[in-house]
A and B are shown apart, each in its own frame.
Chain A
Amino acid sequence: EAGVTQFPSHSVIEKGQTVTLRCDPISGHDNLYWYRRVMGKEIKFLLHFVKESKQDESGMPNNRFLAERTGGTYSTLKVQPAELEDSGVYFCASSAQGDTEAFFGQGTRLTVV
Chain B
Amino acid sequence: AQSVTQLDSQVPVFEEAPVELRCNYSSSVSVYLFWYVQYPNQGLQLLLKYLSGSTLVKGINGFEAEFNKSQTSFHLRKPSVHISDTAEYFCAGVLVRGGADGLTFGKGTHLIIQP
Contact = CB atoms under 8 A, between A and B. Distances in A.
A53 interface: no
Contact of B36 (A47, A50, A104): A104
B104 to A, nearest CB: 7
A110 interface: no
Given A42-B107, A100-B51, A48 B43 contact: no
Interface of A is mostly: strand
Nearest to A43: B105
Identify which of B4, B44, B101, B106 gathers the most chain A CB atoms within 10 Å of its CB: B44
A48 B100 contact: yes
A20 B93 CA distance: 29
Interface in B42-60: 42-46, 49, 51
Contact of B43 (A33, A46, A106): A106
B87 interface: no
A39 B59 CA distance: 28
B21 to A, nearest CB: 15
Q: How large is the interface on A (under 10, 10 to 19, 20 to 34, 35 or more residues)?
A: 20 to 34
Contacts of B46: 101-103
Contact of B99 (A3, A55, A105): A55
A64 B23 CA distance: 34
Given A55-B99, A56-B102, A95-B100, A43 B90 contact: yes
Interface residues of B, number: 24
A48 B106 contact: no
B77 to A, nearest CB: 21
A50 to B, nearest CB: 8
The list of the 4 closest CB pairs from A to B, nearest first, reads A45-B102, A104-B44, A106-B43, A43-B105
Interface of A: 3-4, 31, 33, 35, 41-48, 50, 55-56, 59, 91, 93, 95, 97-107
22 contacts: A4-B43, A33-B102, A35-B103, A35-B105, A42-B105, A43-B90, A43-B105, A44-B105, A45-B102, A46-B102, A48-B102, A55-B99, A59-B102, A95-B100, A99-B100, A100-B51, A100-B94, A101-B46, A102-B100, A104-B44, A105-B43, A106-B43
